[in-house]
Amino acid sequence: MSKHPIRPDAQGYLDLMAANPRPPMGDESIAQMRVIPKEVMAQMIGAFDLPVGELGEVRDVVMPGPGGDMELRLFDVRAERGPGPVVVFYHGGGFVVGSIDTHAALAAEISRQLDLPVVSVEYRLAPEHKWPAGIDDGEAAARWIAENGAAFGREFTGLVLCGDSAGGNLTLVTALALRDRPAALPVILQLPIYPKADSSESYESYVLFGEGYGLSREDMAYFDRVYAADPHHWRHSPFVADLSGLPPMVMATAGLDPLRDEGRAFAAKAVEAGVQVVYRECTGTIHGFATYRKAIPSAQTDLDTIMAHARLLLAEAGAGG
């Protein structure tokens, strides 16, 4: 048992992973993953997460992006709805793996929890596309979605930026970019889930939880190498930016996550800058819990709590679904 208190279901998941180890992330393994059909990859991910479930509408849309056409997918618990906000969702995966399909269940659950349409973004990944390609795509998608609600059969009135892990990084960076050069619609809420928030310095949680807690230092080092971002630039380390004037934020972290302390630091700096922040640290659990809800059942309660905080801030803004 870990010297750090851990939930039994999270420990059970880690024990399962330890009994069935996968090779470390590398060029060869990524090349193999790239040729796995989307439906097969979705089935593999489905071993750990809950099903997508029933929705009112799922719609695929293609937008022009900085590097060519980009895929978007609408997840909406309602088949029809009146004017209102839209969630722009960025999947996690270390800027190297992950897709709309791997995170479909989480996107669908966010739509159910917030009663809002969710548009998931397929941004470019490393090593084929290095930084800032993915960041460029994330910002471009938010701007395009703000102007093109009709492409989804809806009328959008504001943006909620949301993402997990690497997608949490895109959330924070895009919020800064849209603060400085606003989109056609305002950003009314940021919802980063265990985000990569600062690569400009090292944090204790990286040492404490970099081995044996699901997200390894070895894999993170590989992601950093092939993504090749500038660790001191705000478009990769949003923590280094001036955070004043940002929209309200619900920041969620995991207590046993190598990224925990940089999420803590970002939330604290945002509070000091006058941003309205709700910080939720999900104790005793690990990075990635929001997409492990079948393997770690307590993660559903964590997600319920995070989304309840988001609903409260949206209600305060008069922008609930």
> Would you call 287 a catalytic residue per the annotation?
yes
Q: Is the pLDDT of residue 1 over 90?
A: no
Alpha carbon of residue 2 to chain centroid: 27
Q: What is the pLDDT of residue 43?
A: 77
Query: How does pLDDT run across 236-280, given as a tens digit for each residue?
Result: 999 999 999 999 999 999 999 999 999 999 999 999 999 999 999
Q: SS3 for 118?
A: strand
Q: Which of 101, 136, 224, 257 is catalytic?
A: 257
Q: What is the mean pLDDT of residues 39-62?
A: 89
Q: What is the mean pLDDT of residues 54-64?
A: 98
Q: What is the pLDDT of residue 138?
A: 98
Q: Which of 165, 199, 205, 237 is catalytic?
A: 165
Tell me which residue of 258, 300, 309 sits closest to 280, measured CA to CA: 309
Q: Which CATH number fits domain 8-316: 3.30.9.10, 3.40.50.800, 3.20.20.100, 3.40.50.1820?
A: 3.40.50.1820
Under a CB-based contact definition with an 8 Å cutoff, are residues 255 and 284 in contact? yes
Following CA atoms 280, 7, 15, 125 in sequence, which dihedral angle do they give, to the nearest 10 degrees? Answer: -10
- In this prediction, residue 153 has a pLDDT band, given cuts at 50, 70 and 90, of very high
Tell me which residue of 287, 254, 225 sits closest to 25, measured CA to CA: 225
Q: What is the mean pLDDT of residues 3-24?
A: 93
Beta-ladder partners of 64:
69
> Would you call 165 a catalytic residue per the annotation?
yes
Q: Which of 91, 103, 236, 287 is catalytic?
A: 287
Q: What is the pTM of this model?
A: 0.97
Beta-ladder partners of 281:
253
User: Within a 10 A sphere around the Cβ of 204, how many other Cβ atoms?
Assistant: 10
| Total residues belonging to the chain | 321
Query: How does pLDDT run across 292-312, given as a tens digit for each residue?
Result: 999 999 999 999 999 999 999
